[in-house]
Structure 1
Amino acid sequence: MTIVINVNGRDHTVEAAPETPLLYVLRGDLELNGAKFGCGLGQCGACAVQVDGQAAYSCLLPVAAAQGRRIRTVEGLGTVEHPGVLQKAFETEQAAQCGYCIAGMIMRAQALLDANPRPTETQIREHMQPNLCRCGTHMRILRAIRRAAGLPAETV
């Protein structure tokens, strides 16, 4: 089936079965490899993207359900030469260990900061709770989000 999806502000026409996970289309058809396959069950967040400004698991979202919606991936936030504010904060705070979860973490955090540029510590922690980092860099990830929001580095 021919499906048109808008990813990072650009329309893309793809041939895919309607039930194909958006993640597979992003990685396989569009070669946007930031979102990763983690669990395939929406339990880890490695595949997180934004759908109409909200964090969503691309491993669970059928590509047909993405039609007519705005999809944003980590590639849509900045480039290596010109990273976005949140990407730069993750780099500065050395929030990536292996890097596998980072795109999903950034996309979930970006959704929060887009909706609430100055979240409280509780709001940050609650919003980020669904995403897992197997390397244990959660504290650096939280510092990066605080940095991007212009909040104090350490809040307890």
Structure 2
Amino acid sequence: MIRVQTEDFDIGTEVKKLTEGRTDIGAVVTFSGLVRNTDDGALASMELEHYPGMTEKELARIEAEANERWPLQASLVIHRVGKLAPGDNIVLVVTASAHRQAAFESASFLMDYLKTRAPFWKNEDKGGETNWVDARESDGEAAAKWEV
């Protein structure tokens, strides 16, 4: 399941909805990302933009790839867009499988993809001075390990 939204989310509620009544799930891995302030503490907000329709299609494609690579019982990716402040939830990835290895590896795969290839654009506002944020080189190196 994929959701791109402006609204906040509750991690516990999302996990419960994904796993409720499921006895075939033995492992659930969650990753939640927050808007982190810059090293100099000057971040006032971050604006996340996306191309509606294209973004959801691409996220669904990569989620389907995760389900092909690992035996998942369920998965969820929520990514927020709009104006967010330091400390706000920005992303949630949940993977559920019969066993922990598949859940851990698929969650890592999904996050590496989101950090490097997902069609989101981030613009930081530092008190009126704005700049677009690029993926870090280390994020690209992490994603490269999943290339087939």
TM-score relative to the length of structure 1: 0.31
TM-score relative to the length of structure 2: 0.32
Greater strand share, 1 or 2?
2
